[in-house]
Amino acid sequence: MKALVFDAFGDPKTVIACKEQPSPPLDADQVRLKVLASPVNPADLNLVEGTYGVKPPLPAVPGIEGCGEVIESRSPAFETGDRVMLLHRSGMWAEEVVVSASSLFKLPPQIDPLQAAMLKVNPATALRMLTGFRTLPKGSWVVQNASNSGVGRSVIQVAKALGLRTINLVRRESLFEELKQIGADHVLLDDASAVDLAREIGGDSAPALALNAVGGDSALRLMNILGSGGVHVTYGAMGRRPLKVPNGLLIFKDLEIRGFWLTRWIDKAPREELDNAYAFLAQEVAAGRLEVPVDSTHELGDFLAAFDRLGSADRKGKVLFAPGI
């Protein structure tokens, strides 16, 4: 089988190679998957660069998430033809993977494999942040930045399914209508005007939850929009700027500053909690209520073009490897 392999940490364009790899035999309770699709996430590139939260032993195959079809099983829980997603990193930038049955979640058979391939990270991050830090009554406001990102779009759609309302900050007015079409209640420019406009929208019901993927001044704006006792959750650092937390916001607004890393949640959460979360998300995807835009799909050998597409100014969604579609 073919796989994208790196033997040293560094620039993905230079350290990754498409290689023929042996397909290992199955042990008890293992499953062999044909990889249908796997997205190229920032975390995958960070893993290759050696800047992610963990470093795999080398050589390694990237691919934090993906969708596969069972082609051989030594587990009674899975049969040939089952569609599945992986709960743990298993090197999905390959034509096949062999994994423990306990690391798989069975998907509805009618689900779009491209959308299923992106189910593990962005939608689950959105759902967990919306439900794991505060119990928000229906109609509550949530404010976020980077609202046109994969997680940001998932937040909009999952919040709508949960009966929550969103105030969404972005850097370009051209995104306003696009995000409103997927359920955003309000979209604002992420500049100095956002704080007053968001406060006017929230009125006496200021947001109790802010989701930050940028840092710097953008993160500070979210803190100023939050109501007293609100929680500010950071899950990314796109702006490559640290958080600035004025003393007054901690003292007089009693804000709670938290972080979120999906990998830690998956590793520590009870299996029932994971199953319930992904069952809800899979149902939303299968029903067409939760969708992440796809820019392009690529064969494994076309990885340089896939990486180039990531940096394209006209990119309109996620870039995926789709060796099995």
Active site residues: 52
CB atoms under 10 Å from CB of 74, counted, come to 15
CA–CA separation, 301 and 178 (whole Å): 33
Which long-range contacts (C-beta less than 8 Å, at least 24 apart) are formed by 299-307?
299/323, 300/2, 300/3, 300/4, 300/18, 300/93, 300/94, 300/95, 301/2, 301/18, 303/4, 303/16, 303/18, 303/93, 304/13, 306/40, 307/12, 307/13, 307/40
Give dist(CA 46, CA 56) in Å, integer. 12
